[in-house]
Amino acid sequence: MADNIIVAVFSSVDPANETAKAIIDLKDARDSGFKFKSGIIVTKDARGEVSVLESDSHPFRGMTVGAVVGGLIGLIGGAPIAAIGALLGSTLGAIGAAGTAILTSATVSSIKDAMHPGTVAVIIEAEEDSPKAVDDIVAKQGGRVFREAARGPIA
């Protein structure tokens, strides 16, 4: 299984939530070739500020957010969201280091470009035998997938 960071960007909250639910179902499916590690849903408002979706309003509530996912949140959202990432379980230093250790700058730039005001992103850390299952889930909800194999250790 390959360690991957997967970001799916959607035009609104509902398809992001449906995708997150389907990913949870995939995680629970036997012999799926998919091992979910952590996940979160973030939104970008009209001012361009990224925030974490309320934990009680999405399927990842109560799950631990790893340093890698927190790191990516910090990279796409800037300094204010990096502090939220720290509160989610990572230190500020680990946030930047984790994100840059596992993602190329081209991937981060592509994600930032796709995150227009009003968009919502599902960010997950997972091991996958094949990208097909997640790609199909995201496509069904009209999202765009960004995926990169982890280049460094995943916390």
Kindly report, residue by residue over 83-125, the tens digit of the pLDDT: 444 444 443 334 344 444 455 667 777 888 888 899 999 988 8
Token look-up 């790191």 returns 71
- 85 located within any domain: yes
Distance CA 81, CA 62 (A): 19
pLDDT greater than 80 at residue 26: yes
- 103 located within any domain: yes
Q: CB under 8 Å to 134, separation ≥6 — which residues?
A: 6, 8, 23, 26, 34, 126, 128, 145, 147
Distance CA 46, CA 78 (A): 15
CB 21 within 8 A of CB 49: no
Per-residue three-class SS string for 125-146: EEEECCCHHHHHHHHHCCCEEE
Domain residue limits at 140: 2-149
Tally the domains of the chain: 1
Residues in the chain: 155
pLDDT greater than 50 at residue 155: no
**99 vs 48, which has greater pLDDT?**
48
- 24 located within any domain: yes
- 154 located within any domain: no
